[in-house]
Structure 1
Amino acid sequence: MPKFVSPPERLLRSAASHASKLSSSYLQTTNTGASSASTGAAYRAAFCAQTNKPLVIKKVYDTKQLGPSELRIRIRACAINFADILMCQGAYQEKPNLPFIPGTEIAGDIIEIGSNVTTFKKGDKVLALVNLHGFAEQCITDVDATWKIPNTVSYATAATLVVSYATAYMAFDRRAELKKGETVLVTAAAGGTGLAAVDLGANVFGANVIGAAGSAEKTALAKVKGAMHAINYREQDIKTEVLSITKRKGVDVVFDAVGGDTFEKCLRCTGFGGRLLTIGYASGSIPKIPANILLVKNISAVGLYWVREEDQGSYRFKDPKLYKHSIDSVVRLLGEGKIHPHVGASFPLNKINEAFQFIKDRKSTGKIAITMD
């Protein structure tokens, strides 16, 4: 079994084990169905108490005081990444100590600020990245992992932005150096990261996007987001269709989050001097690259390990300024109305297990949000 088998939004948490230890050190819980989210009071959270079991909604009594550069946030929405599901199954490469509260991407309102905080105030509407503790009505974040968002942007939209869009932005801007007018093939084009790549590629970078997905509904969604062409790879052959669309020239850039056989098909329809971005392996299969094809077509195969934690192979560790630039850029583009994250569905916190199953059943498009209704 390969270590990494999923797209970049699923490669988030090399420090999650540490975060879970921190979480368990200051939380006391009781079972509850009631809602409360005031500072210092009890609030609800979804706990993974046993792997491969349904999450349990419990009341949390938070006794932790804020550090000087920390913020307490009343969470309004939290995105689901597939890593959350894998972690709750015990199938993720990092295994937090039980019990833990999963969840990484959040949006909400600041209800308390640390003594040294000058860039935020109570009441600010924000999005933030956390190691764990996202599926809850409150959490604590650091100022460096928090961004203000316009009041016109919904909490669910803001919560589903950063991981998918910052990954796609860095892939195009830094790794592929995508130019206006170039042709891009995006696989898994109706998924969270795939739709972000379609949206950014077409509407920000000015590329001609071909979206590949597994159903007519999903290819239609890719076209709504900006794809000029769409391929249903359950019914059509990617290589044949791409070569037809491009008049046998091939594409300039591939954004592949699937891996396996799909990767090699994409490689064979990449044009002269093209760049093939390997973003993740949703198929569960890490491809072997026929290097002779790279040679004779002057193709570059380029990886991107965006990842949010300080993993020594990630941009977060190697180039934190560039990492932050990718997030700053997509937050700015969201505020300017140039990108439009797709929230495929929203579920209330007490329906989180249904939301997980919805994703596992491959019914989802874009990102799924949990709201604290």
Structure 2
Amino acid sequence: ILIDVHYCALNASDLLLSQNLHTFKPKLPMILGYEVVGKLIEVGTEAEKNGYKIGDKVIALNKERYGGLAEKCLAEVGDIWKVPSTKLVNSADLASILDSYITALVALERKVNLNENDMILINVGISGIGLAAVDLATNVFKAKVIGVCATENCANQAREMGAFAAFKYKDKKLIKQIKEIAAERDIKAIFEDEDGASFKKMLSCFTDIYKATLKDMLRNDSFAVVVHHLSREGRVVIAGTTTTMADVSDVQKGSFSITGFNLMEYKKKKPDVYRQAGDDILQFLEEGLIAPSYSLIAGMHKVNDVLESISENMFPGKVIIDMRDKEAAITKMVT
């Protein structure tokens, strides 16, 4: 299918690719941008069989083709979804939803099996996926969320999404803060004796990201690593941005397990689950259960200024590029 692009999300990976800093090495030349909202202007045979027609408004998650920062974008039928009929969500919001929310949903649902009233510690950092995980865990799974963030603005946003606790990361205070919150639910075992040492070691896999450069924090391809602990008081789950771990054998002993998750690899293995997750996310959106957000919106001709702003500031969430109003000024959406 061919899409007349209205909005395109600008992700951290786009910034890293533009500076040749990403671990993924693309075949050049390439057009950046892989989250797209627009209307279909050409429809192939397979798309027709699946009920798509010219004029349909769609969202594309084009992580294999990219090409979203252009007036027209080619995509595969398996990577597009029809825009929900709800009038409560605008097109710019839709451009920021699929990648982060599908990743968070599949990781929480398939890798952890998150349950109502589980306590989940989400290491948000500055990640859009982390904020999506907060939104889903709180408002869909009905879990108790603690958010750890790189900035106070990000922590505020996590609280607005429903996290019952969220704070800016402070190394010496983190364990104490988590203990105080866990104590309210009579969870103590994970902090005691050998388990306590193991918990701290596992936690460091996540919090070491705060010692990295902004460039490394932006690289959210190592996000969806999940750790969970079973204790006599209940279950605690840790999810979020992590540092890269070459050998985790010494931290997998006992009641912990650690699982890496990559959405594109998962899509190859279980395409039906990938498609269903996208359908579920859009259904949650129609029902008003989740509320995607973004940090900035700007016209296409401001894209270089936007890239510079991302590299200099730690914005929570994503940036949206308006492909129609190309001269639109940069507008900050999150305070």
TM norm. shorter chain > 0.5: yes
CA distance in 1 between counterparts of 2:227 and 2:28 reads 45
Q: Distance in 2 between matches of 1:207 and 1:72?
A: 40
Match of 1:220 in 2: 156
- 2:283 is the alignment partner of 1:349: no
Q: Deviations over 1:215-255 (max 9, x none)?
A: 2222111100110001221376222111110015359x9x9
1:338 maps to which of 289, 296, 303? 289
CA contact (8 A) 1:257 1:279 kept: no
Matches of 2:39 and 2:9 in 1, distance apart? 16
Deviations along 1:36-61, one digit per CA (max 9) or x if unpaired, are xxxxxxxxxxxxxxxxxxxxxxxxxx
Q: Check conservation: 2:123, 2:240, Cα contact below 8 A.
A: no
CA RMSD of aligned residues (A): 3.1
Counterpart of 1:201?
137
SS of the equivalent of 1:90 reads: coil
- C-alpha separation in 2, matches of 1:339 and 1:145: 21
Shift in alpha-carbon separation, 1:92–1:154, aligned structure 2, 3 A: same
- CA shift, 1:150, in A, is 2.4
In structure 1, what is the Cα distance between the partners aligned to 2:146 and 2:77? Answer: 38
SS of alignment partner, residue 301 of structure 1 = strand
The count of residues paired between Structure 1 and Structure 2 equals 290
1:366 and 2:317 correspond = yes
Gaps of 5+ in 2: 192-198, 211-224, 326-335
Q: Does residue 1:303 correspond to 2:237, yes or no?
A: no
Identify if the C-alpha distance between structure 1 residues 231 and 141 changes in structure 2 by more than 3 Å, giving closer, same or farther: same
**Distance in 2 between residues matched to 1:349 and 1:237, nearest whole Å:** 42
Unaligned runs of 5+ in 1: 1-70, 308-313
- Cα pair distance change 1:369/1:72, threshold 3 Å: same
CA gap 1:236/1:341 in 2 versus in 1, 3 angstroms: farther
Out of 97, 108, 111, the residue aligned to residue 175 of structure 1 is 111
Instruction: From 121, 133, 137, give the equivalent of 2:71.
Output: 137
- Structural mapping, 1:100-111, within 5 Å: 100-111=30-41
Contact persistence 1:109–1:123 (CA under 8 A): yes
Instruction: Give 3-state SS (helix, strand or coil) of 2:70's partner.
Output: coil
**Contact 1:79/1:367 (<8 A) preserved:** yes
More helix by share: 2
User: Shift of residue 294 of structure 1?
Assistant: 4.1
What's 1:327 paired with? Answer: 278
Q: For the residues of structure 1 that align with 2:98 and 2:133, how far apart are their CA atoms?
A: 12
Distance, in Å, in 1 between the alignment partners of 2:204 and 2:60 is: 24
Aligned in 2, Cα 1:342/1:287: closer, same or farther, shift over 3 Å?
farther
- In structure 2, the CA distance between the partners of 1:102 and 1:262, relative to structure 1 (3 Å rule), is closer
Greater alpha carbon shift after TM alignment, 356-365 vs 232-241: 232-241
CA distance 1:123–1:267, shift in 2 (3 Å): closer
Q: Distance in 1 between matches of 2:305 and 2:203?
A: 28
2:17 pairs with 1:87: yes
- The amino acid that maps onto 2:253 is L
Determine if contact 1:176/1:277 at 8 Å carries over to the other structure. Answer: no
TM-score norm. by structure 2 comes to 0.77
Distance 1:87 1:243 in 2: 39
Measure how far apart 1:208 and its partner are: 0.5
1:159 matched residue in structure 2: 95
In 1, are the aligned partners of 2:100 and 2:129 still within 8 Å (CA)? yes
The percentage of counterpart residues that share the same residue type is 30
Kept in 1: contact 2:123–2:207 (CA 8 A)? no
Mark the CA change 1:324 to 1:268 in structure 2 (over 3 Å): closer, same or farther. Answer: closer
- SS of the residue corresponding to residue 341 of structure 1 reads coil
Deviation at 1:277, TM superposition (A): 5.7
Structure 1 residues 165 and 128, CA, compared in 2 at 3 Å: closer, same or farther? same
Say if 1:134 and 1:353 are closer, same or farther in 2 by CA, change over 3 A.
same
Q: Is the 8 A contact 2:227 2:258 kept in 1?
A: no
1:290–1:114 distance in 2 versus 1, CA, 3 Å: closer
Structure-2 separation of matches of 1:113 and 1:262: 43
| 1:286 correspondence with 2:245 | yes
How far off its partner does 1:95 sit? 2.5
1:166 Cα deviation after fit: 0.4
Please give the per-residue CA displacement for 1:234-283, whole angstroms capped at 9, x wherever unaligned.
376222111110015359x9x989746369xx9999563757566554x5
